Amino acid sequence: MTGKGHEKTQHVLEWAVAELEIPGIVAEVKDTDGLWFGTAGVADLTTGARRGPGECLPIGSAAKAFTAAAILTLEAEGRLDIEDPVNRWLPGLLNAGGYDGDSITIRHLLSNTGGLFATGLAPELVAGYASRSRFAEHRFDVWTLDDLLRLTVSQPPVGQPGERFVYANGGFSIARAIIEKVTGHTYADEIERTVIRPLGLTATYVRPEGETGYRGPHPRAYSTQFYKDGVDPASVTPENWESMMEEPGLEPLDVTEFNTSWETGNLVSTTGDMIRFVNAVAGGGLLPPAQHRKMWTTVSTEGAGWLPHTRYGLGLFELDRAVTGGPTVCGVAGSYWGHMFCALGTSDGEHTIAFHTNTEAKSWDLLFKIVEAEFGITIGA
């Protein structure tokens, strides 16, 4: 593709394959010089097929930003207010397990500050995929929205509303339910109406609950994200989860066909579409000014066991300039079995990169090295 000056980024892609044992990685960049596309490794370990542009990719928790954008669009239309308590729209849902639906607002849900526990580590969810044998047994299980809402309140609060940042997928399950309650439409229809069509994201879609394939070319996905034999998922915490993982060096498991209905939003996209999306939410091209400001009103993630040196807005993050000292760089990211996706750009929307690995995140080093190569910002983990 066109564009120039991305030799450092290409070197990072090759380093990721050689040093992190990532099967294959792609990166696409849009800046003032045009478009650039780079790749290293393979899309398929069996055939050796190469990766290429236009692949359909699950974006994981990057879909949180789509949910937030849909909510903020509804606010701009006068149909809700992000300061509304959850009980305004879903009365009684959070009046369980020690939660208070009159105190937790939509803003709290979208900023991960509602005091909800780390839903992604819930034993009921993790146990189904904890080991290779369990994964094989449960990889096609379907999680309905009702299932996810029950999961959200299955453990007690970890703090008071607004007290601190705790990454909680369940807040976005509630936000999804609010979208459907307010509009009377499905989540997929509202994401299409408020985000996908306005931005012309022709390759982006919400994957239906029962769908496990892709609607276009895609890489095989491989995982070693499994617990050691005998680990009780109930004993896993945000602080100790790394020590619970299986030993390195095992052959990766092909997890391409996998029902991800438990994942926030369950969106599939491409690097090109996600560049367009991040450009729009960073540069103000999607939401009215008032809602754009709300989306980028951030809280610190320090001490949360999440992506270091960041601040979190509504469904997305920015690198903390107090640490980086560089330009404002913001974006979205997601990782789970077989995939890591990230899209980052400058706040003016002029320089954006989207990249994907066909295995889960191995370390923060990859993201930090790409940020250094593309934006000249050095970050220590």
Contacts of 125 (CB under 8 A, 6+ apart): 119, 143, 151, 262
Overall average pLDDT of the 215-224 stretch: 96
Kindly indicate the confidence band of residue 3, based on its pLDDT and cuts at 50, 70 and 90.
low
Kindly indicate the confidence band of residue 4, based on its pLDDT and cuts at 50, 70 and 90.
low
- Judged by average pLDDT, the poorest of 5-9, 58-62, 187-191 is 5-9
Overall average pLDDT of the 64-79 stretch: 98
Residue ranges of domains in the chain, CATH in brackets:
7-375 (3.40.710.10)
Overall average pLDDT of the 313-330 stretch: 86
Helix (H, G, I), strand (E, B) or coil at 241: helix
State the Cα–Cα distance between residues 62 and 3, nearest whole angstrom. 26
pLDDT reading at 225 higher than 90: no
Kindly indicate the confidence band of residue 283, based on its pLDDT and cuts at 50, 70 and 90.
very high
**Cα distances (angstroms) measured from residue 4 to each of 8, 31, 41, 203:** 11, 10, 21, 26
Beta bridge partners of 319: 310
Q: Given the DSSP bridges, would you call strands 253-254 and 329-336 parallel, antiparallel or unpaired?
A: unpaired
Overall average pLDDT of the 133-150 stretch: 94
- Encode pLDDT of 151-185 as tens digits: 999 999 999 999 999 999 999 999 999 999 999 99
Kindly indicate the confidence band of residue 228, based on its pLDDT and cuts at 50, 70 and 90.
confident
Q: Which two three-digit tokens encode residue 51?
A: 């990766």
Mean pLDDT of the chain: 93
Sign of CA dihedral 348, 355, 190, 104: negative
State the Cα–Cα distance between residues 176 and 194, nearest whole angstrom. 13
The whole-number pLDDT of residue 286 equals 97
State the Cα–Cα distance between residues 209 and 176, nearest whole angstrom. 14
The whole-number pLDDT of residue 235 equals 80
Beta bridge partners of 57: 269
In this predicted model, which residue has the larger pLDDT, 128 or 43?
43
The whole-number pLDDT of residue 137 equals 92
pTM: 0.94
pLDDT reading at 73 higher than 80: yes
State the Cα–Cα distance between residues 187 and 194, nearest whole angstrom. 10
Overall average pLDDT of the 74-92 stretch: 98
pLDDT reading at 290 higher than 70: yes
State residue 331 phi and psi, 5-degree precision: 175, -155
What are the respective helix, strand and coil percentages of the chain, to the nearest 5? 35, 15, 50
Q: Is the distance from CB of 41 to CB of 24 less than 8 angstroms?
A: yes
The whole-number pLDDT of residue 303 equals 87
